[in-house]
Amino acid sequence: MPATDFDAERTYDEERFSTAPVFRNDRIKVVLGYFEPGQFIPVHAPGSDVTIYVRSGRGVVREGDAEHDVEPDDVVVVPADVDRGVRAAEEERLEALLVTAPPPTDEEHAPVREGLQKGVFDPD
């Protein structure tokens, strides 16, 4: 059984959000996400469900056209094929557990790469 904790895996990157993989197979992907203030996972809509548990910090989770303000111990679930993104608040770091089933394909993550390249939360 894979086991770790947020403290052991914590790594921040000044350029973009960082992740620490916990587990992955054909059915599920589990990562720890670390966001400096204002950092984000750009909006995209892969064919997978995602559950986001906020461990610390504050931010926003996009679900379709809605934006949910999140804080520690909040859980947001976004179904497959619905726009989603995560953004840390401008004034503090955000740490979250992200569970995606099934793991998104490389093609489905193209909008994430594009948004990071352009520095925009919503690449559309």
State which residues form the domain around 95.
15-117
In the prediction, which pLDDT does 1 show?
A: 58
The verdict on residue 54 lying in a domain is: yes
The verdict on residue 8 lying in a domain is: no
Low-confidence ranges of the chain (pLDDT < 50): none
In the prediction, which pLDDT does 79 show?
A: 98
The verdict on residue 10 lying in a domain is: no
In the prediction, which pLDDT does 28 show?
A: 97
As to burial, measured by CB atoms within 10 angstroms (0-12 exposed, 13-18 middle, 19+ buried), residue 47 is exposed
pLDDT tens for residues 16-36?
Answer: 999 999 999 999 999 999 999
In the prediction, which pLDDT does 3 show?
A: 83
The verdict on residue 7 lying in a domain is: no
Number of domains in the chain: 1
In the prediction, which pLDDT does 60 show?
A: 98
The verdict on residue 104 lying in a domain is: yes
The verdict on residue 6 lying in a domain is: no
Give the CATH number, domain containing residue 34: 2.60.120.10
As to burial, measured by CB atoms within 10 angstroms (0-12 exposed, 13-18 middle, 19+ buried), residue 33 is buried
The verdict on residue 97 lying in a domain is: yes
The verdict on residue 74 lying in a domain is: yes
